[in-house]
Every structure is written in C-alpha cells, then in structure tokens.
Amino acid sequence: MTLSLRPAVPLDAGAVGGILYRFQQDTQWMPKLYTSAEVISFCGLMIDRGWVTVAERDGSIAGFLARDGLEVCSLYLAPGACGQGAGKALLDAAKSSAPRLTLRTFAANIRAQKFYQREGFAETGRGDGTGNEEGLPDIAYEWRAKQEAAA
C-alpha cells in the first residue's frame, strides 16, 4: 500500500482522463461538457506538456496533479482515494519545487476548499463563473512558502 509519485507518461492519459471524467460525471453540480474521449485527449495534452504528476498505489493511479509553472491547473483523485494521503503528497511535491502556487476551485466544491485551506492556501478572490468554461462561481487561492527568518 505504498504511495509513490512520478511524472506522468503518455500511456497514463487513459487513467488520468478516467479520473477527471468520473469527477465530471459523478459530481451533481458539475456540467457534463465533455465526452470521455475529449477528457482523455485533454489529459494527454497536459501530460505531453510535462505538467502532470501521478500518485500510484499498488500499481494503480490514485490521483494526479497538473501544474503549469506556478499554477495548479488540476488536482483530482480516483474514486475511493480521498483521505488516504495522495492529494496531500501531490500538493506537497508541488510546494517543494515552487516559492508560491496559485489555483482556482469551484465555490460548490466545499471539500476542496477545506483541503486547500488546511494545506496553507489563502483565498485571494472570487469569480462569478464568467472566467471559466463551466460557468460556475469559483475561488482563487494562493500559497506562499514561509520565508526563513533573517539571521
């Protein structure tokens, strides 16, 4: 039951896309905008750009994080993987390689809001949905690494 992180490879697009598609399908408030094939193609593009890190447990992908520079574009977990440390491990890895991170989450996603706040992210703004293709109100967050005290 060991969790390991690694950069995603092209063959991970199906599993990563499956996680994102399941979230879209299983979340009542989420608009159903894309087919499974479209989501897998999108995830393949993020992987090709080198944005995606996957968390694996027992040979299966438990979740993934996509990051473009300082922006966390996606952090999703497989059904049943919440609360088992994969999301925190992915976020900790991203934090370890950046002085600050930004992200947006949907206002309806209370669980994600609590997670990001617990992980040290502070709210920096809110949107009414005109800034995302889902048309859903969202919240912007930022995390900054703690500065070492000057000696």
Annotated domain spans of the chain:
3-144
Percent of the chain past pLDDT 90, that is, above it, reads 89
Residue 4: other Cβ atoms inside 10 A: 10
Spatial distance between the Cα atoms of 125 and 51, rounded to a whole number of angstroms? 24
Q: How much is the mean pLDDT over the chain?
A: 93
H helical segments located in 49-103: 86-96
Question: Going by C-beta distance under 8 Å and a sequence separation of 6 or more, which residues neighbour residue 139?
Answer: 104, 105, 106, 107, 113, 123, 125, 126, 127
Report pLDDT digits (tens) over 75-100. 999 988 887 889 999 999 999 999 99
Query: Sheet holding 71-77: strands in order across?
Result: 3-7, 52-57, 60-68, 71-77, 100-106, 138-144, 122-127
Report pLDDT digits (tens) over 116-134. 999 999 999 999 999 999 9
Over residues 52-80, the mean pLDDT reads: 95
Spatial distance between the Cα atoms of 22 and 6, rounded to a whole number of angstroms? 22
- Is the pLDDT at 66 greater than 60? The verdict is yes
pLDDT of residue 82: 80
Grade residue 147 by pLDDT with cuts at 50, 70 and 90.
Answer: low
Question: For strand 71-77 and strand 100-106, is the pairing parallel, antiparallel, or unpaired?
Answer: parallel
Domain 3-144 CATH class label? alpha beta
pTM of the full structure: 0.92
Grade residue 149 by pLDDT with cuts at 50, 70 and 90.
Answer: very low
